[in-house]
Chains A and B, each alone.
Chain A
Amino acid sequence: MSKTSLTRRSFVKVSALAGAAAAVGASMAGCMQEAPQEDLAGTGETVPPSTEGLTPVRTSCHGCIQMCPAIAWMKDGVVVKLEGDPEAPVSRGSLCIKGLNQLHTMYSPRRVLHPLRRAGERGENKWEVISWDEAVTEAATHIKDAIDKYGNYAFFSSVGGGGAYSFMEAMTLPHAFGSPTVFEPGCAQCYLPRWALSKLFYGGDDQSVADNAVQEIFKVNDNKTEVVVVWGAQPSVSETAESGRGMAELRAAGVKTVVVDPNFSPDAVKADVWLPVRPGTDTGLLLSWFRYIFENKLYDEEFTKYWTNLPFLIDMDEKSPRYKLPVLAADVFPDFKQTTPENTPAYVCFDLKTNAVAPFEYSAPADSAVDPEIFWAGEFNGKQYKTAGQIYKEEADPWTLEHTAEVCWVPADRIEAGVKLYVENNGGIVNGVASDMTESASQVPLGCMGLDSIMGRINKPGVTMTQKGGGYFSTMTDTGEAKSIRPVTYNNGFGGMFSDMYGIGAVVGMSDAQNEARMKAMAEQNGEMQKRHNKLLVDRLGMKDHKGLYAWCHSHIPTVRNAIATGEPYKPRVWFDMSGNKLAMLGNAKSWYEVFPEVDYVIGQYPMLTSFHIEAADLVFPLREWLEEPMVNMTQLDTQWLQNECVHIGETVSHSIPAAQVVNKARELWGGEIPGGLMPGLLADATEADVKNTAATTLGAPDWETLQADIDKYVPCVTPDYWNYNQHEQICDEDGLPMGFATESRKVETYCQILIKLARTGYPYCYPEPQEACEDYSPICSFIEPAESPYEGAPGYDAEYPFVLTSGRVPYFHHGTMRHAPFSRELFPCAEIRINPASAKELGIEHMDWVKVTSRRGEVHARAYLTEGVAPKTVWMERFWNPECYDASQPNPTGGWRECNVNVLTKNDAPFNEVYGSYTNRGFTVKIEKSTRPENIWVEAEEFEPFMPTQEMLAEAQTKDVF
């Protein structure tokens, strides 16, 4: 490390002590003195507990997507102290800086406590307080007028950005208004690809350690995990008190870890093997593991043969309607009589018993008529075929350790050490948001799940791919107990909830005839709603190309932006945003700022005003902070906890209420029914009483009052039969076969065959009426060189931008939250860019110099943090935005989103991830030059004084529910 670039604090000031050293030998007794008067120790009196006069309230933090149980200590109606709840099984009393600093954000002078109407021009930050009645009527009227004049598609909603719990509300509000348009800067760029693919891949839970999905590795009792591969996540930073604590515990227990991350994150620091992959090239590294495992025959042969679809022969005939799909036994063996039910098709393999191509019926491994070859290519009946395993093997073949080292910037011996640790120990792969933010958003999870599948690490103790009996994001496919039906996966929405609600979306695992009959029956019940919803699916923006977005019913963000700009194919005009700072969260923020004038009316809701509200909003609804809002959703292991209403100030409301009130008002204005809208449409509690009772019933309490009277009786709420193993092997009463998986083939679809159907028709989501076809999606992990490459000669190379930028979190903030939390900002005051000291030296940049970072989209500023923890050509930034920029003390206020915001740099144009339309937040190229601190940016601790809670805020009266 270059010492000149770092500060060397005089850490141990030996010189200052040189003279005193002799005298310091004074005995301890000599240093003692009488305790001061107020100290009762030693006087015989008992020292009172520090919590005397305070009342504890059990609650849960919601400072990130997870929820750590916490205790709020109250005094005279004010929360004066927060701490972790030691009874929590994973967080064990931990509470991170995001949670602790809620004490300041709750009472921040930046809180919005009443509905606000814009009083000046957009960007001027001038507001007038209005009544809730006025605000709700105004919002509903604008929406109604726009829909009456321009049609239902004039309305759109959005969510995301941190401190947002309105996933369901944002998804269903457009339903109520008969519009297909909703987006979230997360979604395709955060979690959707991993979540949705796990349902298509094997009908089970995904591998996300960042979204509450993976619990098995954190089990307190009977933990069988020996190795965890953290692929593109930093649990110790993103979910510090829960997954971070969990990781600390399992490492202390001797569990090995491999961490794939371009940045030397805390989890990388602690890893047994760190693989600092070049940003955006994870697919190459994954394929090198496949190659190593195939080459050295390290896979679980029986599981791969009988429980994955890799032995299936794939139709290689481009003219065939089943091109790239597995061959059906009935199609090539005319005399074949399938013995399994129609919902469990027989495929074809190369049988090693007979050395011939043969039907491959679904059965328990021991009952199989064939011994399927995993890797085979050859001719049958005059046509060429390959097994899915062979296709994977050929894809992986170029990825030798040496080739991978060259492309992915990870030394070959490290790659080998990582894969060896993985194969030699029981465990699994966990992941996070990293891959979602690249063009490889579908290919990386296919690879991560693919590896675990060929290792047979599914539904077993100690692995990460499991099917638990609960959890907010868990699939409705309930294989938690040996139900007597063949497992199926419902689609469209969380748990496929919209499928039954509206009669849309095929059920994977039902036969075509069963699905057709189901749709027909539902059409008879509610044909109009089915038709309307199906039309929304067909008309949704960007769906032709990126049909994976159907899983969460979201639109393709860049296509929405273009529709706003051009009016093609229709113009979204009235915007209801449900959280956060869109300008800090949306890729290529400037491109969004430019289309704000095209949006006629913008409604926002949040506990404070962000850049987005300053620059775009016409109306803002005040929301509760997490200390005020009752909620239950996330889990720790098999337990659920209550986020309690500890306090309530102003006229703030729970997150679901503004949308529900606006919909009710709109219905009233239209005389009862929203023309063209769906029913039930919006799924949201309209009153605090409903919010409270939803929380109570989730915990098994009859109502809110009963819950509050005896919280300890209902909290934590334990999900029975949560831990399940080997479900696929249990016998299904319906057909006497092993249960298998909730996929079309009833097996783990390592070759994700349903993605081929998805690309061609939208199946299983856009159903019964299909979506237009696009290019086929890749059913396996395949390599993608990032569009902006640092390689001379590669397409997308530009010598002007020599560094590859990637990003990630720091522990102080979650998405766009906490930038107004003074104790977070004094520790991490402004944007930083981590640069390798050797590269910095070439640029004449020293540690903590301000630098300008420029991409092909724009430029921002950050302080240089020199570290050997990134490769010489890699730089790393956290997102940032600066609410101080529009502080009243600023002579020239700005919106605070242009100065330090990495999303001014990010790339929101093609190429997108083929399945999900994810754009490029990570792995694009930039240049770096020395600069100076932008005006308005605070960095010194004392500068954040205007963000400290004020006496006025602490004195805010406890208020009753508004609705």
Chain B
Amino acid sequence: MKKLLILGASVGLLFGCASNSDPHVNPIGSMGNISIVPGSIKSAPNLNGLLVAQATLHNSGRSSVTGFYRCKFSDLNGIQVGNDQVWQQVTIYPNANQAVKCMATEKETANFQLEFSADGQNVNAIQ
């Protein structure tokens, strides 16, 4: 029984860590009950050749979470394309998934990074 519990906890820890440790995701502060659904991070050029990126967030808590996200885009050399964007608000309901999407506006965009703040504290002007 003990071994099973330890095994279960280890898997849970590994799963929990892995779902938020993707290089495309940069959590700002604690993610709390929010995690990135494994395998949900996708990016592809749209019909016009512009990069579109999407990730799905999951709220494992019992109450809604209002978080903030934005994307940073870079070219093939890793140099940032465009300016920093204003933070966008997203509400994730309890035990639900919510997709967030970012669209690049520059043709040279080759990569992206999603920044996410689960509690909004670190991205608020008044801290």
A and B associate in one complex: no
